[in-house]
Structures are given as C-alpha cells and as structure tokens.
Amino acid sequence: MADTAPPPIAVPVPDGTPAVPLEPLAERAPEPAPVPRGLVTGASYSITVRLTADGDPASIGRIATAVGDSGGAVTAIDVVDSRPDGLVVDVTCSAADGTHAQEIVELLRTVEGVTVGKVSDRTFLLHLGGKLAVASRVPLKTRDDMSMAYTPGVARVCLALAENPGDVRRLTIKGNSVAVVTDGSAVLGLGNLGPGPALPVMEGKAALFKRFADIDAWPICLDTQDTDEIVRTVEIIAPVFGGINLEDIAAPRCFEIERRLRASLSIPVFHDDQHGTAIVVLAALTNALRVVDKDLDSVKIVVAGAGAAGTAIVTLLLAAGVSDVLVWDRTGILSRNDDRLSPTMLELAQRTNPANQRGELTDALVGADVFIGVSAGNVLPAAALEVMADGAVVFPLANPTPDIDPVAARPYASVIASGRSDLPNQINNVLAFPGVFRGLLDARATEISSQMLLSAAHALAAVVTDDQLNASYIVPSVFDSAVHKAVAGAVADAARAATSAAANSADPKT
C-alpha cells in the first residue's frame, strides 16, 4: 500500500519559504461518521490544483468535465502561464469531504494531455501563521508618541488607575476585550483534542468577535482539564478583560466552571456552547411556530441530548414559558424516578417531563410538535418523525453530523433548521454571541441573567419581518448588519435595567 499512496499535498507559501507538506488526504483520520456524501457547495473542502495542459484547446474542457464527473464543483480556473506548447492553470474546486477531494485529484491525473502538479488545501492555506494579529490603536511615529504611549507618560495613567480603579475599563483595553477560554475537552464535535488543536477554533471565534461586534477577543487555551485550576486561572487573568467567553469545555465540568466564575468575578461569564446555542434556538423556534401557527406555551418539545447545549436550551425554553418538555439521552427519556441519572441529569429531569414518562426517543416523539437534536449524528432515521404532530418543527443540530438527515426529514416536517451552511435556516451561534457581548460591554455589565438571554432571543427573532418569514427563512443571515445591532441593543437595555433595579432595591429611600 505504501507504494501506491498518493503524494503529500503541499501548501504553497511565499517565495523562498519551503512548502508545508500536509499528510495525504487518504491517510488522514477518517470522517467522523459514515453518512451519505453531502452537497458540494462550501469552501471547507476546497482545493486548488496546478495543472499543465498540452496545446490542445479541448484540454481545459476535459479538466472541467473530469471535476464534474467526480461530483466536484469548479469555482475558478486561472491561467498562470501561457506558452506555445500549452497552458499552466490553477483549478479551484469544492469537494464534499477530504476523501472526495483526493478522488477529484486522482481523476484529474487520468485526463489526457494534463499533468497534475501541486495540490493546495485552501483551508490550511488560510490558517498559515494563524488568523489573528495585534495592531496598535495609536500612532507610534515620533518621540512624543512614544513618550505618551509608553514611559514616562504612561506612568501618570498607572497612578490615576491606582487611585480610581473604576477607570480601568475606560483607559485600557478592558472595556472592549473578551477572553475566549477553553481546555480543549470538547472541540466542536470532535471530542477531547487538547489546547493546541483547539487554538484554531478559538482564533476563529476571536476573529468573529472583531468582524461582527468590533470586540477585541483573545484565545486562551489552557493546558489543564482540572476544574479548580481552570477556575483559578481565569480568576487571575480576569482583570484584563470585560467579559469571559467559555468555549468547548465538556459537560458536566463546564457547568461548575461557569457557576463558580459567575460567583467570583465582577464581569459577565458566558458559556457560548450553552447560552449562545440556546438564544439562537429560541429565536428560530419562535419564528418557526409563527410559520405553523402554534404558540410556544402550548407545544410539546422533545430535546435529544442532555449535555451543555441541551441543558441550556431547555433552561431558556422553560424561562420563555414552555411547559411540556421531554429530554432524551443515552439512558432514555429523563425521568425523576430513574436512579441511573447523574446529579446534573436528575436536576434536569425534575424540571421537565411533567408526566414522568419513561421510554426511548421514538416514544417521546409521539404527538410532539418540536424536535431539537443536540446529541449525536444519525441517532434517528427520518421516518421516525412520522409520529409527530401535524406542522412538526425539526431542528437536528448535532455537529458535524446532524441527529437526523435534514434533507430526508423534509417529508415529515413543516419547518426544518440545522447547523449546516448548505441548507436553509442555519442555527449558527454567530447570530448571538457577538451582539450579546457588545451589549454587555456597552452597558458595563457585571453579570449576565436569563432575562438578558431572553431579550437577545426575542430581538434576534424580530429581525425577521412578517414579509420575510417563511419555512425556509426563520433566522436571518449572520451578515445582516441589523442582527448584531438588535441583539446588542436588547442586551444592553436589559443589563442597564437590571443595574437600575439593583440600585433601587439597595437604596432604602426608593
């Protein structure tokens, strides 16, 4: 097998720098779940192949045909060099997954009159050197600039802050900065990868904070999964930041970490995997129920998955007025008399399942109006949805493979949303967390409450107008500038109202 393995994929880098070899796609770790190949529409598995074609004018057509025959999508053909005996071209195409990308390359090798050169994975190219950089907000061009931005002038600011600590937010980066903290124990849907492999995700998160809310966020990847060490580390770095965003920390540890940090810090602590997901799900569900003409307080909802996201979704749904929720996990439907449940799951069972029903996920779905999946890929065949009520709403959100194939679910549901970017109604946390933190920072909030989360969800739902609303459009695009302004404004208003209420209750004269 070693003699027939495909050559390494090399990522082109600036002139004079050696190419960065990537392991052959065929030798990489297998795809997370054996599911049917998805649609080829995104850039996640996009490659650029350098090809030398002979002088036959039909060669370029044969190249495009080969990519199409392999199921790929050509997105660009750029001429690099033209000479009498032929062309050198860069062909960029999208694949469904890593294995598919390799299949496209191998098929191109068989095209008559074409020689395959370097193959570049565009996603790896984008990550070369990381996605973040530090830039100064003030000019440093003259001696005067230096003497004010640094010593000796900066000493005056230090002394002023020692005398008036409340001005730290105003005179430093603290007022516009967020720490994105992880221990790498639950990276995306990939599992416990550790701090190094988690860093590209945290960099991406920080980049999104800047792009959508103009917040300076910093990736903090901790080389520990000890709860006490994580809590203490965040506590001692907190003076630099106006908020803490916990990310990709496995349950149930994430619950204790968030609880303890909220108790000990005077800045907001927000676990996005929990609350960001919950905000977007509630907003999407609010609009989905508008489409099917049902009320939130009268529907039966089934949530698959009792981890961080599932628990937060249920908590926010209950706060929003939902009364009939069943939660299913690997042990079955969570019920109060199940002695197998962990303390976290037992607490969740005590707040849900009013009839104390037992059984499996298929039992829970009978007569249900809504299914929300945050469990694992393909836990249920689409046909199992047939027992749900008319006008069913189905949100299979497991990442990277949905709990139920959203395409196969179409005959059984009136509204479908998923985490997939190639289908309508993508449930994406980017719709929530930039605006949430923008609002918290603008209001100089010291904590975050359920009311602020509800305000964020209601504001996000309201961005979709009655004229826009339909089964394929229940959440707005992340690139809609109204989204983050609406969420930020709602959160800031709720935070200021909470601060005012707390001040009034503390003042005996009011």
Kindly name the residue from 45, 174, 205, 294 that is annotated as catalytic: 205
Kind of pairing between the strands at 370-373 and 393-396: parallel
The β-bridge partners of 370 are 301, 393
Kindly name the residue from 45, 118, 131, 150 that is annotated as catalytic: 150
**Residue that the structure tokens 């999104």 belong to:** 208
* Integer Cα distance of 203 and 194 in angstroms: 15
- Residue 215's nearest CA partner among 174, 248, 182 is 174
At 11, the amino acid letter reads V
Residues 6+ apart with CB under 8 A from 133: none
DSSP 460-503: HHHTS-TTT-BTTBSS--TT-HHHHHHHHHHHHHHHHHHHHHHH
Name the phi and psi angles at 373, rounded to 5: -110, 125
* Integer Cα distance of 484 and 370 in angstroms: 27
Residues 233, 224: contact at Cβ < 8 Å? Answer: yes
Residues 6+ apart with CB under 8 A from 423: 406, 407, 416
- Residue 334's nearest CA partner among 306, 372, 307, 366 is 306
- Residue 395's nearest CA partner among 36, 403, 183, 387 is 403
Whether 205 is catalytic is yes
* Integer Cα distance of 165 and 174 in angstroms: 12
The β-bridge partners of 216 are 177
390-409 burial string, b = 16+ CB within 10 Å, else e? ebbbbbbbbbbbbbbbbbeb
Residues 87, 59: contact at Cβ < 8 Å? Answer: yes
Residues 444, 498: contact at Cβ < 8 Å? Answer: no
- Helix (H) / strand (E) containing 91: strand 86-94
At 7, the amino acid letter reads P
Whether 412 is catalytic is no
Q: Which residues are catalytic?
A: 150, 205
